[in-house]
Every structure is written in structure tokens, then in C-alpha cells.
Amino acid sequence: MAAPPVTAASHTSAIPFAGYAPTQVIAEFFKTHGLDGVGYRSAYGKGYNVVLFDTATAQLINCALYDVKDITFDFQQADNPYFITKHPGSAKAKKPRAKGTR
């Protein structure tokens, strides 16, 4: 199955997809150096994924539709965790001022 071409306009918001930025840069490098696409192992099971930069460079021979029966995720803490701390004083509630006071 062919994936849509990789473009900067593929995502409407950069924030949720910030993790894709490094792979986007690599894909654009490959594309500008004459590669037609990239193939990589699937993170969700046996098999491979293929990304074509220009779908006109490939010819569809056959295809099939599959129903997803099960997905399993296995999590563990990353080796480089990061922490978000509150701004100092943000946890304190500010009392409303009475009228006419500063």
C-alpha cells in the first residue's frame, strides 16, 4: 500500500507531530538526493512499510484490505526522561483585589 507523499503540509499542527521532525528532515534529504522513497520495518508487527515520495514512480500490482484484530503496546520509561515543572508561584491562587485598591 502506498503512503501519501511526504510534504511539510502533511500536518495541520506541528506540535503533536514534533516527534516526526527528525524523520521528516531525513526523508527530505533522501528525496532531494534522487531517492524514490524509503522502506522500513513496522513498529507494530512483522512486515515493512514503504513511503513513496512520488507515487507516479510506482505501479500498483495488487492490493488487499485487512481488518485490525488486535493491537498490543508494551511501554517502558525512556532512557532520557524529561520533566515539566510549574512556573514558580503558578500553584498559588491569587486573591482578587477589592474595588478601588491596587
Q: Residues 11-61: pLDDT tens digits?
A: 445 455 566 778 888 889 999 999 999 888 988 778 888 889 888 888 889
pTM: 0.42
Q: Is 48 helix (H, G, I), strand (E, B) or coil?
A: strand
> Positive or negative, the Cα torsion across 28, 32, 35, 37?
positive
Is residue 1 within 8 Å of 48, Cβ to Cβ?
Answer: no
> In 1-102, where does DSSP find H-type helix?
21-32
Domains of the chain: which residue ranges? Answer: 8-57
How far apart CA 21 and CA 15 sit, in angstroms, is 10
